[in-house]
Amino acid sequence: MARIIAGIGASHVPAIGAALDNGKTEEPYWKRVFSGFEKSQEWMRELKPDVAIVVYNDHASAFSVEMIPTFALGCAVEFPPADEGWGPRPVPVVQGYPALASHIAQSVILDEFDLTICNKMEVDHGMTVPMNLLFGKIDKNSHWPCPVIPLAVNVVMYPPPTGHRCYMLGKAIRKAVESYPEDLRVVIFGTGGLSHQISGPRAGLINSKWDKNFLDNLSRDPKKLAKIPHIDYMREAGAEGIEMVMWLVMRGALDDKVDEVYRFYTVPASNTAVGHIILANRGKAAKHKPAAKHKRAAARTKSLVRRSA
Amino acid sequence: MAREQHDYDDIPGTFVFDAERSRQGFGINMFCMSLMKDENRKAFKANGAEYLKKFNLTPEQTDAVLKRDYNRMLELGGNIYFTAKLGAADGHSFQHLAAVMTGNTQQDYAAMMLGGGRSVEGNRSRSGKNAPSKFLAGAAAKKAKKKSAAKPKAKTKSKSKKSKPKPKSAKRK
On chain A, the residues whose CB falls within 8 A of the CB of B79 are: 60, 65, 156-157, 199
Contact call for A239 and B11, based on CB within 8 A:
yes
Does A28 contact B at CB distance below 8 Å? no
Mutate to test the interface with B, among A32, A65, A243 (most CBs of B within 10 A): A65
Contact call for B16 and A239, based on CB within 8 A:
yes
On chain A, the residues whose CB falls within 8 A of the CB of B19 are: 157-159
**For residue A59, what is the nearest residue in chain B, using CA coordinates?**
B81
Q: Which of A157, A202, A208 sits opposite B12 (nearest CB)?
A: A202
Amino acid at A262: Y
* DSSP string over A55-85: EE---SSSSTTT---SEEEE-SSEEPBPB-S
Contact call for A236 and B29, based on CB within 8 A:
no
pLDDT for B57 beyond 60: yes
Domains of chain B, residue spans: 7-114, 134-171
Sheet holding A51-56: strands in order across?
Answer: A116-118, A71-74, A148-153, A51-56, A185-191, A3-10, A272-281, A258-269
Output the CA angle B70-A67-A131, nearest 5 degrees.
80
Contact call for B79 and A60, based on CB within 8 A:
yes
CB of B56 within 8 A of CB of B27?
A: yes
pLDDT for B21 beyond 80: yes
CB of B78 within 8 A of CB of B27?
A: no
The single residue of A103, A196, A276, A294 carrying the catalytic annotation is A196
| pLDDT given at position A283 | 75
**A151 in helix, strand or coil?**
strand
Phi-psi region of B106 (alpha: psi -120 to 50; beta: other; left: phi over 0): alpha
pLDDT for A156 beyond 60: yes
Q: Which residues pair with A55 in a beta bridge?
A: A151, A190
Q: How many helices (H) and strands (E) does chain A have?
A: 12, 10
Question: For chain A, how many structural domains are there in total?
Answer: 1
Range A205-221 average pLDDT: 96
Distance CA B114, CA A270 (A): 9
Least confident interval from A170-179, A214-223, A275-284 = A275-284
A123 CA to centre of own chain:
12
Rounded to a whole number, what is the distance in Å from the CA of A139 to chain B's nearest CA? 25
| pLDDT given at position A296 | 54
Mutate to test the interface with B, among A207, A220, A230 (most CBs of B within 10 A): A207
CATH code of the domain covering residue A19: 3.40.830.10
Output the CA angle B72-B75-B80, nearest 5 degrees.
85
Interface predicted TM-score of the whole assembly (ipTM), two decimals: 0.89
| pLDDT given at position B150 | 44
Least confident interval from A50-59, A117-126, A283-292 = A283-292
Q: What is the pLDDT of residues A166-190, one digit of tens each?
A: 999 999 999 999 999 999 999 999 9
Cβ atoms within 10 A of the Cβ of B130, count?
Answer: 14
Contact call for B123 and A205, based on CB within 8 A:
yes
pLDDT for B125 beyond 70: yes
Contact call for B109 and A204, based on CB within 8 A:
yes
CB of A275 within 8 A of CB of A265?
A: yes
Question: Which range marks the domain in which residue A181 is found?
Answer: 3-308
Range B111-132 average pLDDT: 96
Local confidence band at A86 (pLDDT 50, 70, 90 cut-offs): confident
Mean pLDDT, chain B, as a whole number? 85
Q: What is the domain class of B7-114 according to CATH? A: mainly alpha
Mode of pairing for the β-strands spanning A71-74 and A148-153: antiparallel
pLDDT for A268 beyond 70: yes
Mean pLDDT, chain A, as a whole number? 93
Rounded to a whole number, what is the distance in Å from the CA of B8 to chain A's nearest CA? 6
| pLDDT given at position B136 | 76
The single residue of A103, A125, A276, A294 carrying the catalytic annotation is A125
**For residue B87, what is the nearest residue in chain A, using CA coordinates?**
A85
Rounded to a whole number, what is the distance in Å from the CA of A101 to chain B's nearest CA? 28
Distance CA A258, CA A251 (A): 10
Range A20-25 average pLDDT: 96
Element (H, E) at A211: helix A208-220
**For residue B135, what is the nearest residue in chain A, using CA coordinates?**
A228
Catalytic (active site) residue A125: yes
Catalytic (active site) residue A294: no
pLDDT for A299 beyond 70: no
Contact call for B136 and A228, based on CB within 8 A:
no
Least confident interval from A84-93, A248-257, A276-285 = A276-285
Range B33-41 average pLDDT: 94
Distance CA A95, CA A144 (A): 8
Residue length of chain B: 173
Cβ atoms within 10 A of the Cβ of A120, count?
Answer: 12
pLDDT for A136 beyond 50: yes
Name the burial class of residue B147, with classes exposed (0-12), middle (13-18) and buried (19+) by CB atoms within 10 angstroms of its CB: exposed
* Maximum Cα interatomic distance, chain B, rounded to a whole number of Å: 71
The pTM of this model reads: 0.88
**For residue B37, what is the nearest residue in chain A, using CA coordinates?**
A85
Angle between helices B26-34 and B80-89 (to 10 degrees): 40
**Straight-line distance from the first to the last Cα atom of chain A, in angstroms, rounded to the nearest whole number:** 30
CB environment B149-169: b (16+ within 10 A), e (fewer): eeeeebeeeeeeeeeeeeebe
pLDDT for B171 beyond 50: no
Local confidence band at A297 (pLDDT 50, 70, 90 cut-offs): low
Mutate to test the interface with B, among A57, A154, A194, A197 (most CBs of B within 10 A): A197
Least confident interval from A186-195, A281-290, B34-43 = A281-290
Amino acid at A26: E
Distance CA A104, CA A75 (A): 9
Does A217 contact B at CB distance below 8 Å? yes
